[in-house]
């Protein structure tokens, strides 16, 4: 029986299981179509999550956080300035089974033409369909009420 092994070159850095922004190669070159992709991992159906991640950009210190298209499933909680961009915290409601894909836009307060589109994706597991696998930086903060546990007026069988 042969044993298989995976080998990496010595100059390859392995990324951990963390939320990270995948975007333009150079944050100094920000075009109007620049965007980032954030993957949150495997989420559980009817759970509410908070995700915090760093985004490198050159939009400036002050950002306009009003969402262009309001979303029922994604809310921007805060954006804290860092030396290279911002640390952004969002709230995500996993209210649909299957792929999750929502967008939000970070806009410079000084120049409204300078924007950064951020796409947030995840896979939402249905009820009893597996164990969630959250990326580092994502945490469950609440659950939505379950429709199956609704109270009923039925009194039961008569004796």
Spell out the domain ranges in the chain.
35-144
Radius of gyration of the chain (CA): 20
pLDDT per position in the chain (159 positions), as tens?
555 555 544 544 444 445 565 654 433 344 444 588 899 999 999 999 999 998 888 888 888 887 777 889 999 999 999 998 899 999 999 998 999 999 998 888 888 888 888 899 999 998 888 889 888 889 999 998 876 555 667 777 776
How many Å apart are CA 80 and CA 93, to the nearest integer?
22
pLDDT score at 58: 84
pLDDT value of residue 67: 74
pLDDT at 48: 95
- Cα–Cα distance, 112 to 130 (Å, whole number): 43
Phi-psi category of residue 156: left, alpha or beta, with phi > 0 → left and psi -120 to 50 → alpha: left
Q: Share the mean pLDDT of the chain.
A: 79
Please tell me the distance from the alpha carbon of residue 65 to that of residue 47, in angstroms, as a whole number: 24
pLDDT in the model for residue 115: 86
Backbone angles phi, psi at 148, to 5 degrees: -70, -25
Structure tokens at 73: 């499933």
Asked whether the beta carbons of 100 and 94 are under 8 A apart, the reply is yes
The class (CATH top level) of 35-144 is mainly beta
Residue pair 117/35 in contact by the 8 Å Cβ criterion: yes
Beta-bridge partners for 52? 89
Nearest Cα residue to 30 out of 116, 109, 120: 116
* Beta pairing partners, 158: none
């Amino acid at each position: 029986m042969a044993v298989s092994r995976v080998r990496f070159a010595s100059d390859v850095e392995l990324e951990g299981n963390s939320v990270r922004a995948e975007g333009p190669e150079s944050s100094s070159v920000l075009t109007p179509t620049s965007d980032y992709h954030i993957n949150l991992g495997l989420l559980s159906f009817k759970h509410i999550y908070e995700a915090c991640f760093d985004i490198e950009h050159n939009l400036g210190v002050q950002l306009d956080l009003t969402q262009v298209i309001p979303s029922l499933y994604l809310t921007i909680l805060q954006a804290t300035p860092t030396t290279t961009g911002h640390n952004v915290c969002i709230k995500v409601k996993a209210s649909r089974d299957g792929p999750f894909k929502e967008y939000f836009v970070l806009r410079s307060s000084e120049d409204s033409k300078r924007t950064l589109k951020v796409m947030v994706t995840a896979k939402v597991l249905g009820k009893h369909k597996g164990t969630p696998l959250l990326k580092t930086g994502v945490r469950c903060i609440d659950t939505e009420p379950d429709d199956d546990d609704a109270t009923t007026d039925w009194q039961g069988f008569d004796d």
